[in-house]
Amino acid sequence: MPRSELPSLRQTLKKGWFFILAFAVLTYYVFYVRVESMAPFYATAALFLCAMIRKETRPNLQRFIAFLEQTGTLLVQLISILVPIGLVLGALTVTGVAFSFSSELTSLAGGNLALLLILGAGASFILGMGATITACYVFLALVLPPALIHQGITPMGAHLFILYCGMLSDLTPPVAVSAFAAASIAGAPFMKTAFQAMRLGVMLFILPFAFVLSPGFLLSGSVAEMLKVIGTGILGTALAAGGLEGYFWKIGKIPRVARPLLFISGILFMLPYMWADLSGLGLALLTILTGLIFKRPALASS
């Protein structure tokens, strides 16, 4: 958007400062007071009290009724999504299948690290769909991390791997609880919002594997190794984002034929192998040259 169409920071903070205060209250009660279950209620109460200050945000009877309608609709939709998944996960827990499920993964992989990572990511994703992150982690932490550590993976990387994979279901259809909450607030279509969230967070699907394969991301190893891994990771994230959005800094719009190459080059930079870095560099240079070649005739014709 042009700068002239954007609201000023001062006016934005003046009109919506109480939203920041509500988040501060939420953070305070979650991390300092440690009452996670009651923190949202305190933050909501603070938001209502602050909204009373300004006339434009002060709730009247009509706004309060609309608030109740929207809240009830949101709760019904959330229940319709979570109840079937809760029944499935509850059955897995009661029958004991969930606890043996992770041990079966290790035997099925048969010592193959790549297969174990793929199966572990799938199990973490499935168990994370309806359960909390803590429950998903407890199901898998007893069996899967020791198997990964036995394959030479660092303990921190193994545990973060299953934790991050379990959180991916929050933005991935068909559950995507976080995307669903955002869609209800914005009044946007749920599935479209979920796919957009998955598209914007695509690097989160790569990050758990990066934790396992590149200890430098966890600030483990020599300083040179950490700088190399973090540097290539930042570059890879920028390239992958440019490929997805079709726009890159100092180049402008990327031609459609070159966008997949730019995205793949970003993914290659995330891998801890020299051949991957060289291949990613070659693809990135090829994409940039293609963008400049396609851009030059457009500039000449304009």
Q: Are residues 198 and 242 in the same domain?
A: no
66 lies in the same domain as 198: yes
pLDDT score of 291: 67
> What residue numbers bound the domain in which 79 lies?
61-213
Q: Judge whether residue 190 has pLDDT over 90.
A: no
Q: Are residues 46 and 151 in the same domain?
A: no
Please give the pLDDT value at position 299.
Answer: 40
The per-residue pLDDT for range 119-160, each reduced to its tens digit, is 888 878 877 776 667 777 777 777 778 778 877 888 888 889
**Predicted local distance difference test score (pLDDT) of residue 27:** 92
What pLDDT, in 10s, does the model give residues 234-289? 888 888 888 888 887 777 777 787 888 888 988 888 887 888 888 888 888 887 77
> Do 237 and 194 fall within a single domain?
no
165 plus 277 within the same structural domain: no
Question: 3-state SS string over the chain?
Answer: CCHHHCCCHHHHHHHHHHHHHHHHHHHHHHHHCCCCCCHHHHHHHHHHHHHCCCCCCCCCHHHHHHHHHHHHHHHHHHHHHHHHHHHHHHHHHHHCHHHHHHHHHHHHHCCCHHHHHHHHHHHHHHHHHHCCHHHHHHHHHCCHHHHHHHCCCCHHHHHHHHHHHHHHHHCCCCCCHHHHHHHHHHCCCHHHHHHHHHHHCHHHHCHHHHHHHCHHHHCCCCHHHHHHHHHHHHHHHHHHHHHHHCEECCCEECCCCCHHHHHHHHHHHHCCCHHHHHHHHHHHHHHHHHHHHHHHHHHHHC
Are residue 100 and residue 158 in the same domain, yes or no?
yes
Whether the pLDDT of residue 9 is over 90: the answer is no
Q: Please count the structural domains in the chain.
A: 3
**For the segment 192-203, what is each residue's pLDDT rounded down to a tens digit?**
888 888 888 888
Q: Do 229 and 160 share a structural domain? A: no
The pLDDT assigned to 130 comes to: 62
Q: What percent of the chain has pLDDT over 70?
A: 91
Please check whether residues 125 and 208 belong to one and the same domain.
yes
Q: Among 213, 247, 275, give the residue marking a domain's end.
A: 213
